Structure 1
Amino acid sequence: MNDAPDWVEQARRLVTGLGQTLGAALREGDGGDAHPSDCRWCPVCQVAAVVRGERPEVTDALADVLTAAAAALRTASERASAPAPEAEAEEPAPPAPPVQHIEIG
């Protein structure tokens, strides 16, 4: 049984939480420094467009990246918790002696 957390589910929760937080911040904007609705270059407006669902290709790419990262973390976690293979159960070689005899001619 693997007690490691489900990385994919945690990544989904993170993205959902960030989306809700950014969405709430955008809805509560004070309007003083508001960007025009057709702004396409600043990072704030680009993130807002992704949160609003206007950029599904970016959302899909982000989901792919997070899924790959979660799979890599899951694989690393499973390898770290896996028992050692039977081949490594053999007795290790004795350590090298601390002093070595060298003949000088």
Structure 2
Amino acid sequence: MNDAPDWVEQARRLVTGLGETLGSALREPDAAGAHPTDCRWCPVCQVAAVVRGERPEVTNALADVLTAAAAALRTVAERASAPAPEAEAEEPVAPAAPVQHIEIA
């Protein structure tokens, strides 16, 4: 039995939750209506600008980071599933002495 978490499902839930939170924040301004429509500094508005395609440089950088992360994960998975190299018939190397004698004078 495999008790490992389903990472695809976890990622889907994360993206769905973030999408709902971002969507509600953009549709419903705060009670006082103090959030300006031309906000350019808060994280919610920055993410919304990326999603709308107003920041292609950020989208490209994010795509590069995700591609590199996927390649790194693929490499780790390939190494984990690769068979272990066979032990060679060489003599075992003696471990280094835990204490080294150093002559001072």
Give the length in aligned residue pairs.
Answer: 92
Q: Secondary structure at the match of 1:54?
A: coil
TM-superposed CA distance for 1:78, in Å, is 0.9
**Equivalent residues of 2:50, 2:58 under 8 A apart:** yes
TM-superposed CA distance for 1:20, in Å, is 5.4
Q: Which residue of 2 aligns with 1:82?
A: 82
Deviations 1:27-57 (A, max 9, x none): 2444534422222222222122112222122
Q: TM-score, normalised by structure 1?
A: 0.58
| Structure 1 stretches of 4+ moved >6 Å | none
CA distance in 2, matches of 1:52, 1:31: 25
Q: Which residue of 1 aligns with 2:35?
A: 35
CA distance in 2, matches of 1:55, 1:31: 28
Q: Which residue of 2 aligns with 1:103?
A: none
Deviations 1:13-33 (A, max 9, x none): 578533454234422444534
Q: Which residue of 2 aligns with 1:55?
A: 55
Q: 1:94 to 1:60 in 2, by over 3 A?
A: closer
Unaligned runs of 5+ in 1: 1-6, 97-105
Q: Which residue of 1 aligns with 2:92?
A: 93
RMSD: 3.6
Aligned sequence identity (%): 73
Unaligned runs of 5+ in 2: 1-6, 96-105
Q: Which has the higher contact order (CA 8 A, sep 6+)?
A: 1
